[in-house]
Amino acid sequence: MLTGKRIVITGATGSLGSVLVRRLLSGSLGTPEAVTVFSRDEAKQHTMRLAYQRLERATDEVIYHNFERLLRFRIGDVRDYPSVASVLREADIVFNAAALKQVPACEYFPSEAVKTNILGAENIVRAIRDSRLPVETVVGISTDKAVKPVNVMGMTKAIQERIFIEGNLECSETRFVCARYGNVLASRGSVIPLFHHQIRHGGPLTITELDMTRFLLSLEDAVDTVLAALADGEPGQTYIPRVPSARVVDVAHALIGERPIDTVVTGIRPGEKVHEILVSEEESHLTVSQGEYYVILPRLPELRQTQLSAPTLEREYSSRDDLMSPEEVTGFLAKHGLLPSHELVLEEDMLA
């Protein structure tokens, strides 16, 4: 599928982008001609470059042979139209992972979220349209917070989805699809690394709301969703994984285990939701089932290639529904290697 393709990933040094780069270089989907990491953070790019040059296994030497040709790094900002237009000149496939995604940060700096999450997407569409670039596919990476948004991060991501979907009309030779998913386990800035940090310091673990629920999926599952949209998505479609959900307090208790660590309720942060939604009630009548995913057909009738016989969902797809039990949460975290080891030593003990 990717053999000979020139791939650009915006925001490729983030949690999702880094795993996506590794998957693309693995050869499991074919060997690309080039994978370009496009981001504004030179420090993270330098760290990634070193990681791929310090090879430890023979198989790595095969995967990353001819490193300089296959994996490339470009400093640039998705907010800046000239740099976007420049990097896309030789792109066949674009993954847009660049985002301001921290909910409180977006609440305090909403104009910055608009610049990255909205204007960044518009720059991609504009560059392809105005320069008639031969980009085959753009995959926009979105979030459950874009559904019935109550925070700036979700609002800007919801508009980003619409910009990419409408891009199919402006750039008829390019296919724009979206992938939307929920909370990614152990991603940068997420709750599990925070809980691990608090456990190392002897607690307490901070819970914002006892009834709060979240969808849970691994970074590999998130990448699977993005690649499924790339492989099978029709113009304007949005791919959503079917994933488990849990109460955040159950996640905290599973991580604590038998340790004498307390939890404390701190209250909801600015812009935070109690429950997340991956498919709204309004979208459910356009949603069909495709393997392990729900697929939302485009709202714009000009783009609808798949004929809707009967929708898969009769109501919204919310994290409050079909919750895992506390025991299931523990098993789920253990499966993904996220339970702290029993030998975990508190940092205060290490300094004693």
Residue of 5, 101, 115, 145 with catalytic role: 145
Amino acid identity for residue 202 in this structure: G
Here the tokens at position 263 are: 């939890």
The neighbouring-strand residues paired with 241 are: 293
Class of residue 296 by CB neighbours under 10 A (exposed 0-12, middle 13-18, buried 19+): buried
Give the per-residue SS3 of 16-45: HHHHHHHHHHCCECECCCEEEEEECCHHHH
pLDDT band at 52 (very low <50, low <70, confident <90, very high): confident
Amino acid identity for residue 163 in this structure: I
Q: How many CB atoms lie within 10 A of CB 96?
A: 26
Over range 141-150, report the average pLDDT: 96
- N-term to C-term CA, the chain: 55
Min mean pLDDT across 125-129, 260-264, 343-347 is at 343-347
Provide the residue ranges of all domains of the chain, joining segments of one domain with +: 6-351
Based on the residue annotation, tell me whether 145 is a catalytic residue of this protein. yes
Q: Is the pLDDT of residue 345 over 50?
A: no
Helix (H, G, I), strand (E, B) or coil at 61: helix
pLDDT band at 66 (very low <50, low <70, confident <90, very high): very low
Q: Is the pLDDT of residue 65 over 50?
A: no
Q: Is the pLDDT of residue 204 over 50?
A: yes
pLDDT band at 322 (very low <50, low <70, confident <90, very high): confident
Q: 235: which DSSP letter? A: T
Would you state the pLDDT for residue 64?
47
Q: How many CB atoms lie within 10 A of CB 132?
A: 11
Do the bridges between strand 34-39 and strand 277-279 make them parallel or antiparallel, or are there none, so unpaired? unpaired
Would you state the pLDDT for residue 310?
67
Would you state the pLDDT for residue 344?
45
Over range 259-287, report the average pLDDT: 92
pLDDT band at 314 (very low <50, low <70, confident <90, very high): confident
Over range 115-123, report the average pLDDT: 98
Would you state the pLDDT for residue 63?
43
Answer whether 255's CB lies under 8 Å from 192's CB.
yes
Answer whether 293's CB lies under 8 Å from 230's CB.
no
Would you state the pLDDT for residue 68?
52
Percent of the residues in the chain that have a pLDDT greater than 70, as a whole number: 91
Here the tokens at position 253 are: 């208790």
CATH topology assigned to domain 6-351: Rossmann fold (3.40.50)
Here the tokens at position 218 are: 């691994």
- Residue with more model confidence, 57 or 181: 181
Q: Where are the beta strands (DSSP E) in the chain?
A: 6-10, 34-39, 71-75, 93-96, 137-143, 175-181, 205-207, 213-215, 238-241, 245-247, 263-265, 277-279, 287-290, 293-296, 317-318
Here the tokens at position 331 are: 């098993």
Helix (H, G, I), strand (E, B) or coil at 214: strand
pLDDT band at 126 (very low <50, low <70, confident <90, very high): very high
Would you state the pLDDT for residue 58?
42
Distance from chain centroid for Cα 251: 20
Q: Is the pLDDT of residue 45 over 50?
A: yes
Helix (H, G, I), strand (E, B) or coil at 137: strand
pLDDT band at 69 (very low <50, low <70, confident <90, very high): low
pLDDT band at 317 (very low <50, low <70, confident <90, very high): very high
Q: Is the pLDDT of residue 342 over 60?
A: no
Would you state the pLDDT for residue 269?
84
pLDDT, averaged across the chain: 90
Over range 174-179, report the average pLDDT: 98
- 327 Cβ contact partners less than 8 Å away, ≥ 6 residues apart: none
Residue of 3, 4, 6, 9 whose CA lies nearest to 223: 9
Would you state the pLDDT for residue 167?
98
Q: Is the pLDDT of residue 55 over 90?
A: no
